[in-house]
Amino acid sequence: MWKVGLVGTGFWSDNHLAAWAQIPGAVVTALCDRNPLNLRQKALAFGIPDEQCYTSLEEMLNQGDIDIVDIVTGPETHTELVTLAADAGKHILCQKPLAASEKEASLMVAKAESCGVRFMVTENWRWLEPFRFIKEVLDAGTLGKVQTVRYTHTDYYTPRMAPGAVLPQPFFRDMPRLLFYEMGVHWFDTWRYLFGTPKRIYAETATISPHIAGEDSGIVVLSHEDFYGYMDMSWATRQKLDRPLGQGVKPLHLEQLVIDGTLGTLKLDTSGQILFISEDGTEERVLTSSTTLDHAYSHVLLQSHFIACLDHGTPFQTEGRDNLITLRMTFGVYESAVRHMPILITGGASSP
């Protein structure tokens, strides 16, 4: 039985804790947060005794009975927490984005490797149902050779972040790098999962909402050896408001993906339906009528994968070292947008 100590009891930790409760072979034996009130509330919600709760990672490492540290805190804390966990010989699952710079991320990866501990980044987007389904279609060769990819994410989120509005993650307002730092790591990891790593990227970004510091919209062109694609991503567009915004200010995450291949075209629409259009363009058929962006279940799959790889000594899908390439793409967006130049991506020859 793998014993897990979770650090960080904020907004997203519910998904981690609920997933651990569903995974045979793993159990949460320690909980840590520097805010005693948050810590107590989360412990009560998930049935973790007071004696297994700690207000510092050092205390949890010294007194807790754990094999794994699950880090669910902001990236500004990751270097310190990963270093402490690695020095203590604990395997590490760490939330994205891994770090605020490529240098910091590289140091964390090197630290884990030098200490002989396993290190995986929590990238859950690739585990969402539509992308797992699309991966199966691609692997089956149904589309033939990929020719172009068009990936769109639409939401009307940041313009509703006015002062006084209650947000699930209020720090979004003040982040100097927002959309492609917070979400880009998801999108680039998923792109690499489906299509491999591009050779270069070119980006343009914009800040639309007056209520935020960072960018909330952008287009990224991704160039591969023999095909290209683009991402058109925005948290500030009315382009595809095909459902009510709902009560409160929360993200909708409306996603569309169109993949043109030599044998046909695949279309994911915002309803979750996935269609196939025949090579001659005369036939359209439904591959699946519905898929969902079920974040809670994606964590069950992700964390089950983490445990299975520990059990069998096999590589993680999102190894710490592999995530360095995803971060290169993420930070490359900002570099490209400032310099108005394409950015070469290390490891661009890899395949899915």
The domain that holds 215 is classified in CATH as 3.30.360.10
Q: What mean pLDDT comes out for the span 220-227? A: 97
The pLDDT confidence band at residue 241, using thresholds 50, 70 and 90, is confident
Instruction: Note whether residue 301 is domain-resident.
Output: no
Mark which of 122, 147, 175 sits at the end of a domain.
Answer: 122
Print the domain residue range for 156: 126-293+326-344
Q: Are residues 131 and 106 in the same domain?
A: no
Q: What is the pLDDT of residue 252?
A: 87
- Asked whether the predicted pLDDT for residue 350 surpasses 70, the reply is no
Q: Are residues 143 and 98 in the same domain?
A: no
Q: Are residues 99 and 167 in the same domain?
A: no
Q: What is the pLDDT of residue 246?
A: 75
- Asked whether the predicted pLDDT for residue 244 surpasses 90, the reply is no
pLDDT digits (tens, 9 = 90+) for 295-330: 999 999 999 999 999 999 999 999 999 999 999 999
Q: What is the pLDDT of residue 248?
A: 84
Instruction: Note whether residue 309 is domain-resident.
Output: no
Q: What is the pLDDT of residue 352?
A: 40
How many beta carbons lie within 10 A of that of residue 90, not counting itself? 25
Q: Are residues 240 and 340 in the same domain?
A: yes
Instruction: Note whether residue 145 is domain-resident.
Output: yes
Q: Are residues 208 and 340 in the same domain?
A: yes
Instruction: Record the pTM.
Output: 0.95
- Asked whether the predicted pLDDT for residue 340 surpasses 50, the reply is yes
The pLDDT confidence band at residue 142, using thresholds 50, 70 and 90, is very high
Q: What is the pLDDT of residue 242?
A: 74
**Coil vs helix vs strand at 137:** helix
Q: What mean pLDDT comes out for the span 263-274? A: 97
The pLDDT confidence band at residue 245, using thresholds 50, 70 and 90, is confident
Q: What mean pLDDT comes out for the span 85-93? A: 98
Q: Are residues 176 and 244 in the same domain?
A: yes
Q: What mean pLDDT comes out for the span 151-158? A: 96
Helices (H) and strands (E) in the chain, counts: 10, 15
Mark which of 75, 101, 122 sits at the end of a domain.
Answer: 122
CB neighbour list of residue 284: distance below 8 Å, 6 or more residues apart: 275, 276, 277, 278
pLDDT digits (tens, 9 = 90+) for 163-191: 999 998 999 999 999 999 999 999 999 99
Q: Are residues 16 and 101 in the same domain?
A: yes
- Asked whether the predicted pLDDT for residue 58 surpasses 60, the reply is yes
Quote the DSSP letter at residue 33. -
- Asked whether the predicted pLDDT for residue 351 surpasses 70, the reply is no
Q: What is the pLDDT of residue 292?
A: 95
Q: What mean pLDDT comes out for the span 62-90? A: 97
- Asked whether the predicted pLDDT for residue 283 surpasses 50, the reply is yes
- Asked whether the predicted pLDDT for residue 334 surpasses 70, the reply is yes
Q: What is the pLDDT of residue 346?
A: 67
- Asked whether the predicted pLDDT for residue 78 surpasses 50, the reply is yes
Sheet containing 91-95, strands listed edge to edge, beginning at the edge strand earlier in sequence = 53-54, 26-32, 2-7, 68-71, 91-95, 119-122
Q: What is the pLDDT of residue 67?
A: 98
pLDDT digits (tens, 9 = 90+) for 8-52: 999 899 999 999 999 999 999 999 999 999 999 999 999 999 999
Report the share of the chain in percent with pLDDT over 70: 98
Q: Are residues 54 and 93 in the same domain?
A: yes
Give the rounded distance of the alpha carbon of 165 from its chain centre.
25
The pLDDT confidence band at residue 247, using thresholds 50, 70 and 90, is confident
Per the CB < 8 A criterion, the answer to whether 150 and 257 are in contact is yes
Q: What is the pLDDT of residue 102?
A: 96
Phi–psi pair at 113, nearest 5 degrees: -65, -40
Instruction: Note whether residue 319 is domain-resident.
Output: no
pLDDT digits (tens, 9 = 90+) for 106-127: 999 999 999 999 999 999 999 9
Q: Are residues 133 and 40 in the same domain?
A: no
What is the total count of domains within the chain?
2
The pLDDT confidence band at residue 206, using thresholds 50, 70 and 90, is very high
Mark which of 72, 94, 122 sits at the end of a domain.
Answer: 122
CA dihedral 82, 86, 87, 88 (to 10 degrees): 110
CA–CA separation, 152 vs 103, rounded Å?
30
